[in-house]
Amino acid sequence: MPISDQFTSVYSHDWEINFLQCNPNGLLKHTELCNLLQLTAGYHAEHGGLSFTDMQEFDQAWVLSRMRVEIEELPKWRDIVTVKTWIYDLQGSRSIRALEMYVGDKKIVGSVTYWAVFNTKLRKAEALALPHEHFEKFPEREATSESFRKVNLQRESALAFEKKVVLSDLDIVFHANNVKYLEWCLDSIDHRPILKQQLKSFDMNYMRELMMGDEIQIHTAAEDKQTYFVVSKNEKPSFALELNWK
């Protein structure tokens, strides 16, 4: 698709929170929060000629490598939220993108994400084939108090559960969608702190893709005000998550 005549380097999108996106407390699910952030990033890429369809002409797609989310509060059912996004840096096979969510003029969520260009046929990273010079970069305009970080995998943990990757876990790139990993982990812990809005931030690392039928293990551990998870296949980590509590 050509670059939209409405393209801007800082993009905003309004969303109305519907009841299907909410927990029983009427607040937006953390998984749905991540979906809205990534959908907004996707719309911005589409306006700038870097959509999935554009990239598939070169057998390429964006895949998420790291994501940090900081939460002041969650929006509720029927709220109109505005998600703003811009790029810190884009070169070679990687892009660093910032996102913020607002209710009115109040910022309630900040996020920073690290994306890689992935060849969907060769199943490996490679340099972006499309031009991106029209995207102005904003390396000094930070959306979070801390950047994404590498989750420490050298910790003792216990097996929480095992599962098989099924059709409902997959996305258009035919691997487990990145939000599904978060869903698996959140479903395995006490729901009460989540419903009480005690989750203040989380970091996610994606290391290896998971495919239909893969048998995986989810290990977890807790220390101080942090809960840690690692999702593994054949004893090799595919995903790591840190939940930071108030």
The single-letter code of the amino acid at 80 is I
Structure tokens, 175:
């691997």
Write the CATH number of the domain with boundaries 151-246. 3.10.129.10
Write the CATH number of the domain with boundaries 1-148. 3.10.129.10
pLDDT (tens, 9 = 90+) of the chain, 246 residues, equals 689 999 999 999 999 999 999 999 999 999 999 999 999 999 999 999 998 999 999 999 999 999 999 999 999 999 999 999 999 999 999 999 999 999 999 999 999 999 999 999 998 899 999 999 999 999 999 999 999 999 999 999 999 999 999 999 999 889 999 999 999 999 999 999 999 999 999 999 999 999 999 999 999 999 889 999 999 999 999 999 999 999
The single-letter code of the amino acid at 148 is F
**Residue spans in the chain of domains classed CATH 3.10.129.10:** 1-148, 151-246
